[in-house]
């Protein structure tokens, strides 16, 4: 049986820029897990093949020790209690950091697309034209809705409140705006800190 | 010396000078200007304004990301530069209260920014903060806010009100119910039958009282209190039922007396006979002989 190396021995350098928040135990709160999963879901909705790209990027960023393969990645993501088939698994800080680094990297790659989608949405909102009128925007929203409904547990009160398409579209646009902030100079640290707002001692 | 941080929607211009020993580092701020593409109004000010701008924008960005309000501790900062999200979430209002030179010159500036414009402002500020060659003493702490702080600065009175209302209402209802009489449990020993006043002129066999022929006083009072059946359909139904009962009881009995014997029957809704009262003299005489 493979001996597990202790976290302190194998923290990739890239993760060291993210400080450990003062939590009561060193495990991620529910809100953190949910937020990370939703942001990743938004990324998958922006770009086809983003899920595959995530595993390749994990290798490039040398965080593949933490996100080994597809199965491990899925296990980590189903630690979100709102998912169907939620596995009651905890998300460790190291795993969360790895995901945040990945989000930051992916969002930077998608900066132009994210900005364009938000600008289009802005212009359509001013003219009170529905988002479906723009092909790319409607594609994003449709994919987001499909992923969300396929993966999230509808029995959960919070998920059930998103039965309405309009409400789900609003969530999709909010996540897109948050992704924009992740593309910035301090995007990664800002995202990391925001995940623990109101959760720390 | 001037430093500019240029983004598509926002340009941050910092004018200042450096100490003799600092070289190219800007250590003292003279003026800062913030311009937005497509917006006429520019934001300008000195060190106080800029520190307030940096802190408020940084906190607001975190609040935007997490949805958890970041209350500003410094009252001065809060009044100088203030950001709030407008309805819909797509617009953000940036307000600057410029301190007046004289009382009449007080100027408040207000700019509405889209999310993309806001991000460009945040990015310009982040680029400035990352630049160690420009005003390195201006920094922000971007850590997560604690549980207690995130609960907000709502006054304790407001937070405790629902608790007190809840406990208070329970107490009030407890007191009210204490004074309410305890409902008495009445034993159901006499079911008041519903009386039917109907005379049955018969040249058919007379009915037989099923129960005691002399009703007790109790039953009588109960009968008196009970409601009369007035519905004609119900009356017809009861009449048919009683006639059936009579026929069943008498069977082969042959009528010997063709005179009318009139009896008042007290029956309940189901046709159960409680009382038989003779209504004419003949009936009274014949009561004992009638089945």
The answer to whether residue B221 scores a pLDDT higher than 60 is: no
What are the pLDDT digits (tens) for B37-74? 989 989 999 898 999 999 999 999 999 999 888 766 66
pLDDT at residue A143 is higher than 50 = yes
* Separation of alpha carbons A77 and A91, rounded Å: 9
Say which residues have a Cβ less than 8 Å from residue A175's Cβ, sequence separation at least 6.
A38, A39, A41, A42, A144
How buried is A145 (Cβ within 10 angstroms: 0-12 exposed, 13-18 middle, 19+ buried)?
A: middle
| A181 near B CB under 8 A | yes
Q: Which SS3 state, helix, strand or coil, does residue A8 take?
A: helix
Q: Which of A35, A125, A193 is facing B142, going by the closest CB pair?
A: A193
Question: In terms of Cα–Cα distance, which of B260, B167, B267 is closest to B223?
Answer: B267
pLDDT over threshold 80, residue A122: yes
Q: Is the CB of B66 less than 8 angstroms away from the CB of A184?
A: no
Closest chain A residue to B113 measured between Cα atoms?
A122
Of A115, A119, A199, the CB nearest to B147: A199
Q: What is the pLDDT of residue B278?
A: 67
| Residue A92 DSSP SS3 | strand
pLDDT band at A9 (very low <50, low <70, confident <90, very high): low
Across the beta sheet with B43-45, the strand order is: B2-6, B10-17, B28-36, B43-45
To the nearest 10°, report the CA torsion of A22, A26, A30, A35: 70
Highest mean pLDDT among A23-37, A129-143, B137-151: A129-143
Highest mean pLDDT among A68-72, B200-204, B287-291: A68-72
Kindly report the backbone phi and psi dihedral angles of residue B158, in degrees, each rounded to the nearest multiple of 5, phi listed first. -65, -40
Res B205: pLDDT: 44
Q: What is the pLDDT of residue B20?
A: 74
What is the ipTM for the molecules in this complex? 0.89
**Chain position carrying tokens 């209190």:** B225
Does position B23 have pLDDT exceeding 90, yes or no?
no
Chain A residues 13-72 with CB within 8 Å of chain B: 19, 21, 35
Please write the tens of the pLDDT for every residue from B92-106. 999 888 765 555 555
pLDDT classification of B252: cutoffs 50, 70, 90 = very low
* Portion of chain B with pLDDT greater than 70, in percent: 56
Is the Cβ pair A200, B88 closer than 8 Å? no
Q: How far apart are CA A68 and CA A70, in angstroms?
A: 7
Kindly identify which residue of chain A lies nearest to residue B115, measuring between CA atoms.
A177
Q: Are B130 and A185 within 8 A, CB to CB?
A: yes
Distance of CA A188 to the CA centre of its chain: 12
* Cα separation, B230 vs B200, whole angstroms: 16
Separation between Cα atoms, residue B207 and residue B286, nearest integer Å: 12
The overall pTM is greater than 0.95: no
Residues of B with CB under 8 A from a CB of A: 61-66, 68, 70, 88-90, 114-116, 119, 122-123, 126-127, 129-130, 142-147, 150-151
- Across residues B8-37, what is the average pLDDT? 88
């Amino acid at each position: 049986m493979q001996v597990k190396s202790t976290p302190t021995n194998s923290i990739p350098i890239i993760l060291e820029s993210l400080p450990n928040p003062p939590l009561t135990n060193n495990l991620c709160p529910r809100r953190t897990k949910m937020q990370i999963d939703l942001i990743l879901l938004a990324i998958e909705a922006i770009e086809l093949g983003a899920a595959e790209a995530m595993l390749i990027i994990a290798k490039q960023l040398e965080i593949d020790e933490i996100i080994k393969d597809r199965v491990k990645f899925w296990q980590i993501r189903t630690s979100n209690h709102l998912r169907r088939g939620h596995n009651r698994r905890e998300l460790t800080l190291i795993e969360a950091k790895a995901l945040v680094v990945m989000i930051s990297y992916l969002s930077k790659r998608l900066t132009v697309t994210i900005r364009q989608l938000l600008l289009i949405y802005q212009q359509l909102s001013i003219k009170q034209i529905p988002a479906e009128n723009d092909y790319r925007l409607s594609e994003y929203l449709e994919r987001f809705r499909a992923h969300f409904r396929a993966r999230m547990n509808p029995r959960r009160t919070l998920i059930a409140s998103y039965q309405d398409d309009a409400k789900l579209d609003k969530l999709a646009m909010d996540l897109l705006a948050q992704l924009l902030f992740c593309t910035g100079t301090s995007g990664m640290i800002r995202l990391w800190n925001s995940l623990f707002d109101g959760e720390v001692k | 010396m001037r430093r500019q941080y240029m983004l598509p929607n926002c340009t941050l211009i910092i004018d200042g000078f450096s100490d003799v020993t600092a070289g190219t580092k800007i250590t003292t701020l003279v003026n800062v200007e913030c311009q937005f593409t497509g917006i006429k109004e520019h934001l300008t000010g000195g060190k106080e304004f800029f520190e307030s701008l940096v802190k408020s924008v940084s906190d607001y960005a975190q609040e935007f990301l997490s949805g958890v309000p970041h209350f500003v501790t410094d009252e001065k900062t809060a009044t100088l530069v203030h950001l709030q999200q407008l309805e819909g979430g797509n617009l953000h209002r940036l307000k600057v209260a410029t301190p007046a030179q004289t009382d009449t010159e007080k100027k408040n500036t207000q700019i509405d920014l889209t999310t993309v414009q806001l991000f460009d402002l945040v990015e310009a500020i982040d680029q400035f903060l990352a630049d160690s060659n420009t005003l390195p003493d201006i920094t922000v702490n971007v850590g997560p806010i604690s549980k207690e702080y995130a609960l907000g600065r709502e006054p304790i009175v407001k937070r405790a009100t629902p608790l007190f209302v809840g406990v208070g209402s329970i107490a009030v209802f407890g007191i009210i119910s204490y004074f309410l009489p305890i409902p008495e449990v009445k034993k159901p020993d006499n079911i008041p039958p519903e009386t039917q006043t109907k005379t049955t002129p018969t040249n058919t066999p007379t009915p037989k009282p099923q129960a005691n022929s002399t009703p007790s006083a109790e039953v009588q009072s109960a009968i008196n209190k009970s409601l009369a059946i007035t519905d004609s359909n119900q009356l017809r139904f009861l009449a048919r039922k009683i006639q059936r009962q009579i026929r069943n009881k008498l069977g082969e009995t042959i009528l010997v007396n063709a005179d009318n014997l009139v009896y008042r029957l007290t029956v309940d809704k189901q046709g159960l006979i409680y009382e038989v009262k003779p209504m004419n003299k003949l009936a009274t005489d014949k009561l004992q002989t009638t089945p």
